[in-house]
A and B are shown apart, each in its own frame.
Chain A
């Protein structure tokens, strides 16, 4: 765990002394503690298995930290109250699961177009529809990327442990502010209900919301600085700035422009580019045993844990296997996969769904390596053996 944490330090490019005291903590508690540490002071949610505990914890913790907890009448209300709270100046979060996420898609698109920072925790369970309520899944991994209508890009992060849940929640809040976008923390039922040792650090880097640096008459809430794609500065309602938040297509001032092809093209391109052109800054992954690997297991979330075990066993059998843990799923890190495909002869992608991200991997690998998906359905987690079988089949 210390190793994982120190890896993260390297990733974040910061050095700070790690406290070595460990706490035994459950996944959803790690998320709520981290959110409060990251500056979240507004939570709106609606009960849904297996994400309810996050709301319950926030109901207890947030008022004590000077924050606001609201239980809303449904998920539509939850996400839309986040939009309101975020524009009123709060860092805001909600937590839900598949059916709730489906209802949130309209609000998610609104947050994308209005460039509203927020964090949505999706504790994945088996779908479609009500599905299998108490079992884990990775079935929403494409929905978070493509679920709302229109063209946009988004950031999604997948924790694979309790420590990850803590660290990546902070990462999610930071990205939300840095790129002024909704960020999705793609948990699943297992990680949310898992108890593990956790190193709680207080001295992490927190990205604060930037206030406008220009006087109200010159400020444009959606106009990035030259050479950039994001206007980081965001005024709050009632601060004296002209704030027009609009779900219709708008220009850099926020004025409605629903008939101009030019303004529309510019805005859509910016929403896309602010994520996709920054992919090298946003995308994060960890590499395990990759130095001499001939086969790579690319994984995210729960299956990563089995992948590590499978790689160790494969190495005992004389197959040089490495593991890539994707921390960010979206934006998809094409260049990393391409480089990987040049290095190894095969890539195995275990997923707790019908095989979704494996398509992205195959696309990015450009035929330079064999790509094999290992689907696991209906709430089952991959055993190391499941992944080993796939490894052996491509090693031959």
Chain B
């Protein structure tokens, strides 16, 4: 998909998919991701939304920000609900039921939107089941790295060392001790045709990947979702932080097509020119949730975080054949 800014602007003015006026926080990363996601639609689209920030804050009574058909189920079963929608759609498209009615458009895309809690933790099973069956939908994970909707509790997506309300920073234990789950690798292991990571800071790359995901379903997209409230980041620094996450290789940009890893955008440039890779301290200095890591006595923890990031980056370089 070639991204033409003028055309996209026109499309979004006529048919935004998701409108402004929702109640997501000022500077919310996932809100920007949702808008970019709607830009990538190729035909009528149904959104299945897992419980989470996006679900709650886009549909506060008596309003909804969604201009597309939208279904919310409980926390752990958005993918299972989408499986039902996709199976029924496939049957109806083939059936004669709506053959006489030219207004009924039965051929539509199904996009599932879930947060990190609904993807890494409670929802993992139903996504795994759907990918194993090959149910043709695109799953978009907006990863704000904790349960932000209930007030900042750690999730399987929370990075090492981060403060949350259930991984408090005390004298002995300082934040989360476990590393982040390699979620993309988990779904790549399901042999799905397309998986990718995206960041709203690199939106051309992002929209292109969303479109590729729709063209190669079942697909999984891991979107980086800066949360100013939960990460203790200033609202106007969302994009800066999202950009630094890519530049420090905390959230490298890549896609996996039929099992083949390919780096994209800035991450590709860093692979070719390693001097461009910034240290993780550049990224965490903007964030209150990591402020304890910058104290001299916690240098070990900071080094451990850097080590984990380097390890994953090097693994990725090997997989992408850039080593």
| Chain B residue at smallest Cβ distance from A103 | B76
The answer to whether the Cβ of B51 comes within 8 Å of any Cβ in the partner chain is yes
Interface pair A47/B153, CB less than 8 Å apart: yes
Measured between C-beta atoms, what is the minimum distance from A130 to chain B in Å?
6
Shortest distance between the CB of A54 and any CB in chain B (Å): 11
Contact of A63 among B151, B156, B165, B173 (CB under 8 A): B173
Q: Which chain B residues border A103 with CB–CB below 8 Å? A: 76
Alpha-carbon distance A49/B150, docked complex (angstroms): 6
Contacts of B140-183 to chain A: CB distance below 8 A: 147, 150-151, 153-154, 156, 165-168, 170, 172-173
B294 CB within 8 Å of chain A = no
Residues of A within 8 A of B150 (CB): 47-49, 52
A56 within 8 A of B: yes
Choice from B156, B166, B170 contacting A73 with Cβ under 8 Å: B156
Please give, as numbers and ranges, the residues of chain B lying within 8 Å of A56 by CB-CB distance: 151, 153, 165-166
Number of interchain pairs (Cβ within 8 Å): 52
8 contacts between A and B (CB under 8 A): A52-B153, A52-B165, A59-B166, A64-B170, A71-B154, A74-B75, A103-B76, A130-B72
B5-54 contacts to A, CB under 8 A, are: 51
A395 to nearest B CB, angstroms?
39
**8 A Cβ contacts from A67-125 to B:** 69, 71, 73-75, 99, 103
Closest to B146 in A: A47
Q: How far is the CB of A309 from chain B (nearest CB, A)?
A: 31
Q: Is the CB of A74 within 8 A of B166?
A: no
Number of B residues contacting the other chain (C-beta, 8 Å)? 23
Q: Which residue of B lies closest to A75 (CB)?
A: B122
A69 to chain B, nearest CB (A): 7
What's the least CB distance linking B186 to chain A, in Å? 13
Interchain residue pairs A-B with the least CB separation, the first 8: A74-B122, A73-B121, A47-B150, A47-B153, A59-B166, A47-B147, A56-B165, A52-B150
Residues of B within 8 A of A59 (CB): 165-168
Is B117 among interface residues, defined by CB-CB distance under 8 A? yes
A274 to chain B, nearest CB (A): 33
> Of A49, A63, A73, A130, which contacts B122 at CB under 8 A?
A73
Given contacts A49-B150, A52-B150, A130-B51, contact A69 B166 (CB under 8 A): yes
Q: B74, B117, B124: which contacts A47 (Cβ < 8 A)?
A: B117
Contacts of B170 in A (CB 8 A): 60, 63-64
User: Which residue of the partner chain A has the closest CB to B123?
Assistant: A74
The answer for the CA separation of A20 and B165 in the assembled complex, in Å, is: 33
Q: Are A71 and B74 in contact (CB under 8 A)?
A: no
The answer to whether A55 has its CB under 8 Å from any CB of chain B is yes
Choose among A47, A49, A59 the residue with the greatest number of B CB atoms under 10 Å from its CB.
A47
Chain B residues within 8 Å of A49, by CB: 150
Q: B153 near A71 (CB under 8 angstroms)?
A: yes
Return the CB mask of B57-77 against A: 1 if under 8 Å, else 0.
000000000000000101110
CB distance from B97 to the nearest CB of A (A): 29
Q: Of A52, A55, A99, which is in contact with the most chain B CB atoms at under 10 Å from its CB?
A: A52
Q: Do A129 and B166 have beta carbons less than 8 Å apart?
A: no
The docked-state distance in angstroms from the alpha carbon of A71 to that of B153 is 9
CB distance from B173 to the nearest CB of A (A): 6
Shortest distance in angstroms between B229's beta carbon and chain A's nearest beta carbon? 15
Please tell me if the beta carbons of A55 and B166 are within 8 angstroms of each other in the complex.
Answer: yes
Alpha-carbon distance A73/B147, docked complex (angstroms)? 11
A71 CA / B175 CA spacing, docked (Å): 13
B125 closest partner in A (C-beta): A74
Residues on A with beta carbons closer than 8 Å to the beta carbon of B122: 46, 73-75
* Given A59-B166, A60-B170, A130-B51, 14 further pairs, Cβ under 8 A: A47-B117, A47-B166, A55-B153, A55-B166, A59-B167, A59-B168, A60-B168, A63-B170, A73-B120, A73-B121, A73-B156, A74-B121, A99-B74, A130-B72
Interface centre among B75, B156, B167, by most chain A C-beta atoms within 10 angstroms, is B75
Q: How far does the Cβ of A80 sit from chain B's closest Cβ, in whole Å?
A: 14
> Hey, which chain A residues are within 8 Å of B76, CB to CB?
74, 103
What is the 8 Å Cβ interface bit string for chain A, positions 185-208, against chain B (1 contact, 0 not)?
Answer: 000000000000000000000000
Given A46-B122, A59-B165, A59-B168, do A129 and B156 touch, yes or no (CB 8 Å)?
no
* A46 to B122 Cα, complex, angstroms: 9
A residues near B168, Cβ cutoff 8 Å: 59-60
